[in-house]
Amino acid sequence: MNNFNYYTPTKVVFGKDTVDKAGELVKSFGGTRVLIHYGGKSALESGLIDRVKASLDAAGIFHVELGGVVPNPHLSKVYEGIELAKENGVDFLLPVGGGSVIDSAKAIAYALYEPDEDVWDLYDHTRQSKGSYPLGAILTIAAAGSEMSDSSVITNEKTGEKRGYNSDLCRAKFAIMDPSLTVTLPDYQTMSGAVDIMMHTMERYFTHGYVPDITDEIAEGLLRTVMKHAKILHEDPSNYESRAEIMWASSISHNGLTGCGHQGSDWSSHRLEHEMGGMFDVTHGAGLAAVWPSWARYVYKEVPERFAKFAVKVMEANPDEFSSQEELAVKGIELTEEFFHSIDMPTNMKELGIEPTEEQILEMADGCARATGGSVGCAKVLYQEDMAEIYRMAR
Amino acid sequence: MNNFNYYTPTKVVFGKDTVDKAGELVKSFGGTRVLIHYGGKSALESGLIDRVKASLDAAGIFHVELGGVVPNPHLSKVYEGIELAKENGVDFLLPVGGGSVIDSAKAIAYALYEPDEDVWDLYDHTRQSKGSYPLGAILTIAAAGSEMSDSSVITNEKTGEKRGYNSDLCRAKFAIMDPSLTVTLPDYQTMSGAVDIMMHTMERYFTHGYVPDITDEIAEGLLRTVMKHAKILHEDPSNYESRAEIMWASSISHNGLTGCGHQGSDWSSHRLEHEMGGMFDVTHGAGLAAVWPSWARYVYKEVPERFAKFAVKVMEANPDEFSSQEELAVKGIELTEEFFHSIDMPTNMKELGIEPTEEQILEMADGCARATGGSVGCAKVLYQEDMAEIYRMAR
């Protein structure tokens, strides 16, 4: 087993009506002046923001608010949040939303700690953060896992660059997770979320060398759980238990647990999708579904034993029906595509609704190579020409 | 799914040579004057304590030390540690050992925060803690899970009472976990540890009502992992990978993860064993192995579906060979006994080496009832007469 660190300080408060604990939780972590950060109108119209404000008022906590965060959250909104927070002496960030809203709040939290620096430097990887203002999350979309992860991803909408920054400094102090808040999500969002959750574990799963049994057991169990309950929600969106299973899986899938003690995670599919998201503004999980099968076919021969194990333990292929590990590996990829189709997710870019030209493919490959310092991947290290080829396969 | 909280702020630093990070970790969590707390001579003679001191010296951190913590750690040693810590202005506890040492340090840490109170009040449940001094653990025995848990257990050796106290306040700031430190443990200690780890999950597993799939998947995967690697270590004690699998499982098994979202944990076997440990000073994990089969036979009809699932998913019984859930449940108990025997663990008190008289059984049942406020259990609520009957069955 490889040495590893595991650090998940986020206090999870999970279940029905936990939103009403927002005020006391902010207070218990020392917050006195809060920026409530959110996305579209649904958070307002559903009464959720009013409920959050009532909880803060009851705890005697000052608050201002900033909505309008979009999927693939924009740097300009981050800058707007920084200014508003400074003007109001904000000392605690309270995102109410999914990964985009939480990531936007994380960027604001970094910026407030170092007010004389440009926060984009972090995402452009020209500087490391020295600290972050505290943040608590109220989750309304199970997908990104940002509520427990060390990650945030921001899009510079002027340049089309979508970039991530990872640091323990931005881990949320608390996460309020009420699955019933996700019941009104459109099916496409819910299923995209399920794919995103799966991919956070799958990016860690396909690696070289010794993978601890305990890490594999957790990863495989999590993937089986998400697939089972995504299928249930595709038929019955109001199923609370399935909403809860998927919401809790979203946090575990990206808090580090499913990658403990192995040699390294891959993240190629995420990096490839980031460029698609930067150029075409696609839904992240659906974008991952569209690129993963091509990535998998491009790399599986490097770690056939991992793909074969995935086929058996996660996709329930019968190993006795295959004469080689490689055949079994391919079957696992095919079964993953079948699963994606069964929940109306794409398996290529055309099904996703985008048709990049060769020029755009070269541009995405160039962007991906620049964003990754020239290469990415663990199962197989990908360079710019590999990236372009996977984009072509995924057309 | 039931509402739940999940809070594991402990920073895990896992792997070879991580002991040398002790100084920098204490410093990063604000410690300046440290009490190193440990058990027997092996920590000294192996050079481990010297290595810890060197790391603290390199970070410029003052330290005093107190050894002599015994299994089922004594209240008198806790009092001794409190005095030593007060005399030396200690502001950070650094236990180096297994659950007993960490639990003793937790008691000292509680006491230092409220210096005018008797810390035994917490364990006697006549008072709640208001806070705790910070603590980091260096783990040398994989068993109790105290390095990430909210729990500590102290024995008042004058009265023979073994009592636990649970609070998030005592969760370790960090846990240094180097599996190679456990390689020299006697087989009996290693196997007792494996049983203890399994029991932390099994106590959570046998419950009523909806159990989340994700929680069951993690629990079952963890149990399979521990059984596999306990068997390997029983033959090959120096196997690093198996040491690592079991050490990481020890933390996950008791940090709360294997009980998220279900109706409640049982803990009857632990409570029954506490009285055995208080009276006879047995090794905790072996004591659990000696009492669990009798507990299981006494209660399985209350939740046959849980025992049947356990039989299939963990003990790999073939459900097609059984005509009822109850038969399958009994098979699971038998297979657990077979597993315990396969690693030379007892399945009753005689095999454990103790033969309590009827009077002693009544005394243990009385103690257990008093310590639990009259009853304990979730799969089945046990009262004093039930406790006595299980002790009789386990003779």
For residue A125, the SS3 value is coil
Instruction: Decide if pLDDT at B281 tops 90.
Output: no
How do residues B309-340 score in pLDDT, each as one tens digit?
999 999 999 999 999 999 999 999 999 999 99
**Beta strands A4-14 and A174-177: pairing type?**
parallel
How do residues B146-185 score in pLDDT, each as one tens digit?
999 999 999 999 998 888 999 999 999 999 999 999 999 9
Interface contact flag, B248 A261, Cβ < 8 Å? yes
Name the percent of chain A lying above pLDDT 90.
95
Which of B128, B151, B181 terminates a domain? The answer is B181
Question: Residue B4: closest CA among chain A residues belongs to which residue?
Answer: A14
**A57 and A108 assigned to the same domain:** yes
Contact B209, B156 (CB under 8 A): no
- The enclosing domain of A85 has a CATH number of 3.40.50.1970
Any domain includes A25: yes
H helix and E strand count, chain A: 16, 8
Interface contact flag, B249 A13, Cβ < 8 Å? no
**B213 and B359 assigned to the same domain:** yes
Tokens read off for A265:
């995670």
**B133 and B108 assigned to the same domain:** yes
H helix and E strand count, chain B: 16, 8
Average pLDDT over residues B260-274: 95
Q: pLDDT averaged over chain A?
A: 96
Q: Does B222 touch chain A (CB under 8 A)?
A: yes
**B235 and B372 assigned to the same domain:** yes
Q: What are the DSSP calls for B247-266, one per residue?
A: HHHHHHHHSSGGGTTSS---
Note the pLDDT of residue B160.
81
Contact B370, B387 (CB under 8 A): no
Question: What angle (nearest 5°) sits at the alpha carbon of residue A275, between those of residues A270 and A277?
Answer: 85
Q: What are the chain A neighbours of B213 within 8 Å (beta carbons)? A: 224-225, 228-229, 245
Q: Does A8 touch chain B (CB under 8 A)?
A: yes
Distance in Å, alpha carbon of A389 to nearest chain B alpha carbon: 37
Secondary structure element (H or E) that encloses residue B162, with its range = strand B161-166
**A74 and A88 assigned to the same domain:** yes
Q: What are the chain A neighbours of B218 within 8 Å (beta carbons)? A: 217-218, 221-222
Q: Does A357 touch chain B (CB under 8 A)?
A: no
Question: Residue A223: closest CA among chain B residues belongs to which residue?
Answer: B214
Any domain includes A6: no
How do residues A316-358 score in pLDDT, each as one tens digit?
999 999 999 999 999 999 999 999 999 999 999 999 999 999 9
**A258 and A351 assigned to the same domain:** yes
Interface contact flag, B249 A214, Cβ < 8 Å? yes
Q: Does B240 touch chain A (CB under 8 A)?
A: yes
In whole angstroms, give the CA distance from residue A328 to residue A333: 9
Any domain includes B3: no
Closest to B201 (Cα-Cα) out of B258, B274, B268, B153: B258
Contact B13, B175 (CB under 8 A): yes
Note the pLDDT of residue A72.
87
Domain that holds residue A105: 11-181
**A252 and A118 assigned to the same domain:** no
**A339 and A372 assigned to the same domain:** yes
Q: What are the chain A neighbours of B11 within 8 Å (beta carbons)? A: 5-7, 9
**Which residues in A251-266 are b (16+ Cβ under 10 Å) and which e?**
bbbbbbbbbbbbeebb
Q: Does B263 touch chain A (CB under 8 A)?
A: no
Neighbours of A359 (CB within 10 A): 8
Q: Which of A224, A240, A260 sits opposite B217 (nearest CB)?
A: A224
Q: Does A240 touch chain B (CB under 8 A)?
A: yes
Contact A96, A38 (CB under 8 A): yes
In whole angstroms, give the CA distance from residue B256 to residue B225: 18
Any domain includes A147: yes
Name the percent of chain B lying above pLDDT 90.
95
Any domain includes B31: yes
Question: Residue B240: closest CA among chain A residues belongs to which residue?
Answer: A1
Instruction: Decide if pLDDT at B267 tops 90.
Output: yes
For residue B372, the SS3 value is coil
Interhelix angle for A268-280 vs A358-371, to 10°?
120
**A345 and A389 assigned to the same domain:** yes
Interface contact flag, A221 B218, Cβ < 8 Å? yes
Interface contact flag, B260 A14, Cβ < 8 Å? yes
Q: pLDDT averaged over chain B?
A: 96
Number of structural domains found in chain B: 2
Q: Does A233 touch chain B (CB under 8 A)?
A: no
How do residues A367-390 score in pLDDT, each as one tens digit?
999 989 999 999 999 999 999 999
Tokens read off for A73:
């959250």
Q: Does B89 touch chain A (CB under 8 A)?
A: no
**A220 and A367 assigned to the same domain:** yes
Q: Does B15 touch chain A (CB under 8 A)?
A: yes
Which of B131, B158, B181 terminates a domain? The answer is B181
DSSP state of A343: T
Note the pLDDT of residue A353.
97
Distance in Å, alpha carbon of B286 to nearest chain A alpha carbon: 23
Note the pLDDT of residue A232.
98
Tokens read off for B10:
């402990």
Instruction: Decide if pLDDT at B253 tops 90.
Output: yes
Question: Residue A220: closest CA among chain B residues belongs to which residue?
Answer: B217
Q: Does A21 touch chain B (CB under 8 A)?
A: no
Average pLDDT over residues A280-292: 94
Any domain includes B2: no
Q: Does B233 touch chain A (CB under 8 A)?
A: no
In whole angstroms, give the CA distance from residue A101 to residue A92: 15
Closest to A261 (Cα-Cα) out of A205, A312, A188, A337: A205
Q: Which residues contact A217 (CB under 8 A, 6 or more apart)?
A: B217, B218, B220, B221, B222, B224, B225
Closest to A93 (Cα-Cα) out of A50, A130, A126, A136: A136
Contact B268, B382 (CB under 8 A): yes
Q: Does A15 touch chain B (CB under 8 A)?
A: yes
Positive or negative: CA dihedral A257, A262, A265, A266: negative
**Which residues in A17-54 are b (16+ Cβ under 10 Å) and which e?**
ebbebbbebbeeeebeebbbbbbeeebeeeebbebbbe
Average pLDDT over residues B262-289: 93
Note the pLDDT of residue A160.
81
Q: What are the chain B neighbours of A261 within 8 Å (beta carbons)? A: 14-15, 244, 248
How do residues A134-143 score in pLDDT, each as one tens digit?
999 999 999 9
Q: Which of B210, B212, B241 sits opposite A248 (nearest CB)?
A: B212
**B202 and B308 assigned to the same domain:** yes
Residue type, B267: W
Average pLDDT over residues B193-199: 97
Q: What are the chain B neighbours of A169 within 8 Å (beta carbons)? A: none
Binding-face residues of A in 171-210 toward B, CB within 8 A: 179, 210
**B133 and B177 assigned to the same domain:** yes
Note the pLDDT of residue A307.
98
Interface contact flag, B3 A14, Cβ < 8 Å? yes
Task: Identify the residue whose tokens are 């702020």.
Answer: B9
- The enclosing domain of B374 has a CATH number of 1.20.1090.10
Closest to B176 (Cα-Cα) out of B253, B102, B84: B102
Which of A140, A160, A181 terminates a domain? The answer is A181
Contact A73, A141 (CB under 8 A): no
Interface contact flag, B5 A16, Cβ < 8 Å? no
Note the pLDDT of residue A161.
87
Instruction: Decide if pLDDT at A178 tops 90.
Output: yes
Note the pLDDT of residue B162.
85
Neighbours of B47 (CB within 10 A): 10
Any domain includes A61: yes
Tokens read off for B185:
């443990």
What is this structure's pTM? 0.95
How do residues B33-86 score in pLDDT, each as one tens digit?
999 999 988 888 899 999 999 999 999 999 999 999 998 899 999 999 999 999
Q: Which of A7, A179, A217 sits opposite B12 (nearest CB)?
A: A7
User: B219: number of CA atoms within 13 Å, CB side?
Assistant: 29
Average pLDDT over residues A225-229: 98
Question: Residue B246: closest CA among chain A residues belongs to which residue?
Answer: A214
Note the pLDDT of residue A162.
84
How do residues B10-40 score in pLDDT, each as one tens digit?
999 999 999 999 999 999 999 999 999 999 8
Interface contact flag, B245 A1, Cβ < 8 Å? yes
Contact A211, A265 (CB under 8 A): no
Average pLDDT over residues B214-225: 98
Note the pLDDT of residue B74.
96
Note the pLDDT of residue B394.
98
Instruction: Decide if pLDDT at A41 tops 90.
Output: no
Any domain includes B24: yes
How do residues B357-393 score in pLDDT, each as one tens digit?
999 999 999 999 998 999 999 999 999 999 999 999 9
Note the pLDDT of residue B72.
87
DSSP state of A258: G
Interface contacts (A, B; CB < 8 Å): 122
